[in-house]
Amino acid sequence: QVQLVESGGGLVQAGGSLRLSCAASGRPIGWMAMAWFRQAPGKEREFVAGISGGGGMTDVRDSVKGRFTISRDNTKATVYLQMNSLKPEDTAVYYCALRRDNSVIRAAAYEYWGQGTQVTVSS
């Protein structure tokens, strides 16, 4: 079993930055793909960014490309989401997810999920 714990959310003004972290525990994750999803009120959960087990491949949704960067440190079993130039439409609960496979997918077919961290961007 794997536990995922997100941190780093909060309230920020438009144009600001936040860095989300997701720490995994319970088993080695170095070969597992990880991703960030988000869900805004009244909307479906959507893929934000993903990274392969070794970190060599990433995928980022178009609406955040150039502003958000996903990375991971397998020595710390942690994945990060650096969010710059934040916009009010980025407001959502952000979830970390882990998949028992090395490949990144945009569908929510990840076996493990964190509890989520709130990101609120004010205009």
- Give me the pLDDT at residue 30, please: 87
**How sure is the predictor about 27, in pLDDT bands with cuts at 50, 70 and 90?**
confident
Instruction: Give CA 28 to chain center in angstroms.
Output: 19
Q: Provide DSSP, 73-121.
A: ETTTTEEEEEE-S--GGG-EEEEEEEESSSS--SSS--SEE---EEEEE
Percent of the chain with pLDDT over 90: 90
- Give me the pLDDT at residue 94, please: 98
**CA–CA distance, 23 with 57 (Å, rounded to integer):** 20
Cβ–Cβ contacts within 10 Å for residue 62, how many? 6
